[in-house]
Chains A and B, each alone.
Chain A
């Protein structure tokens, strides 16, 4: 039995690894293991107030803390019969754009790109691509700034709260954010060109299903109460259970999801495949220039999809700042109209659709169900890896070639930063 293990140790969002077992040219097992410690967050929020729930669930992830907060707020506000005014909505969109830029810039520039260009890490890459690395860091820093200004802290900021915001950022700071975003667009455009120039292998291509939130306004967007599926269906997010069908897998602390018994993909590539034609401006031009039918069958194009989304997000920042500033008065926090109810909050986290579903009873959380993006893409991650490994084995590839390809596929899904900054361990067993 030949066994190839890729086991990262310390991670950003948890602990993951790849296990491949094969005998001769026959593949026994290809797994993406989620080794992350269990935290049982869904059980911890029971009996807590909605405000306490938000402060707990955002701690699931330091990278997409604001997406968790946003999904929780939307689910809870539906349950409590709260409608927030447009200024709140606009400022939430801004914080969400900041997070998308933070997460994508980290993944595209610092994790995925060095891999493709043949460098062990971004620091080594800086020798040849100095200005690019400096600008990538500047973009990430800008994204962190947007998150800090809107949420109160760089990570786990409590400012976005049930019913609104504790405090609104000052006008000058917001205008400066709009200016900075504008100034970064040329670099983001250049990055799209750089990533589009990388060759993407095609031998493991296969059909799949894509899902994302339907923004509902004919535009591209990161939030919506309905889910758009690439088979043409549009389903109310309240029906999320029929879409995600979580199942337990013994090698994973995250549950796997299936749609109609089949794997599916969420994230930037799903959003671009389902909604990309709605992008306008420079992002729209870049999408039309680079999108082709291979995107529907090859997860590695997720890197390019993320790069195009960064251009979209930067263009969106100044519009969103205008939307916030359109309302001079800071609205007070909106109070609940009822103390019991149910609600599902669905938003697009950088890595895909995130659901927070709640039942509130007498002002306290009685039931909670959280479905994270990575769990939804897990079956597809394994499907594409398996196909690649089968083909490489039949061609007699060595362990390092197989390992590299498996890693590139996993990493393209951006399952968590964890899986991209890792130590690689190898175990080879001679056939008995």
Chain B
């Protein structure tokens, strides 16, 4: 009977869909687990020294209060001076500045990691909308202008683009990461070219620099979370993996071509329209 046939098929496809959802969920959990292990390590370092510095700060404050409390109780200035020598006042005074600056640096790093983590998770309320990519690029250039202007001349090689269906703030973030990376790769003063064009139902965005390039053995690793060649404290190694994630979410592609000593080009292609999601009619 065709009727039962139909309902069996429906049941089957419902089960398949559920299995798919579970698979997706477990993949997501695995990715989160991996990320969490990496993040714990990255965060424990700055938290480690900030926490330690707070303990030192407590000791310093105890010593300083010993001095200020003595103002009322000391018999003579000489007594105060002897306490001051005793607590190694000069050392505390110079070290406090370093202690605070280093701790601030640590907190800043944690903040950056947490901010990046947020972007890894799907933010539901940010919807795909038709937007002008060139406008996004200009906004981003304004934001990073300070980092770029002493490092490179920025060349815009823009084609005609239709509005594309995207989450523009996230694409801006990708462009920002690429621009900052390009600037970091340039020793002295160089050139960064931003190129756009349409290719059928895709738009292509390229960010090219004439910086130091990427070593062959690093090419396969640059999209890994926490992979960085920058000095400790300077790069978290999240920029590209984050960007990769965003482009993936947009059903796009990102690849890289690089020649050590000559430069690097990151190339992104994005669909003009997002493919219809299954739950839409």
Chains A and B bind each other: no
Binding site for A on B (CB under 8 A): none
Q: Which A residues are within 8 Å of any B CB, using their own CB?
A: none
